[in-house]
Structures are given as structure tokens and as C-alpha cells.
Amino acid sequence: MGSDGFTHALHQFEFKPRGRWRFDKHGPNGASHRNESVFVGLVRPWRIVLDHVVAPRFRLTVTLTARGR
């Protein structure tokens, strides 16, 4: 998962409304980056909305579209 040379430590993943996704991203230079998001919208099977609640704060919306059969 992620960029070349980076590793990740997963702490929590609750794929449900108001569930938390917490992990640390460790760079090849030794820097660590804390990540925490909250799932604010799940419309199965096609939309996921989450708020990244640590800097930089943002909202991510993923919409999936079926292709083929």
C-alpha cells in the first residue's frame, strides 16, 4: 500500500458509518505521518465518503461504477 519505500502500520479499520481508519505511514527517510479518517457515508456498493481528520484535513468521496458484466 502506498508509495515506493514507504511502510504502514495499521491501528484501526472499521468500515462502517462513523468508523475510524487509523494508520501511520513511515517514509524511507525515517519520517512518520499519522493518518486518521472517519467514514461519514457508505452507500453500498458504490459510494464511500470519508473525512481525513488530521492535517491536512479533507473530505474524500469515492464513487464506483460497474463495467462489463
Instruction: Judge whether 1 lies within some domain.
Output: no
At residue 35, the pLDDT reads 97
Instruction: Judge whether 30 lies within some domain.
Output: yes
DSSP assignment, residue 57?
A: P
**Count of structural domains, the chain:** 1
Instruction: Judge whether 18 lies within some domain.
Output: yes
Distance CA 20, CA 61 (A): 16
Is residue 12 within 8 A of residue 21, CB to CB? The reply is yes
Is residue 1 within 8 A of residue 10, CB to CB? The reply is no
Q: What pTM value is reported for the model? A: 0.83
Query: What is the extent of the structural domain holding 43?
Result: 7-63
Strand (E) positions, the chain? 7-13, 20-26, 32-43, 47-52, 58-63
Instruction: Judge whether 33 lies within some domain.
Output: yes
Instruction: Judge whether 69 lies within some domain.
Output: no
Instruction: Judge whether 28 lies within some domain.
Output: yes
Ordered mean pLDDT values, 10 residues apiece, the chain (69 residues): 83 97 95 96 93 97 91
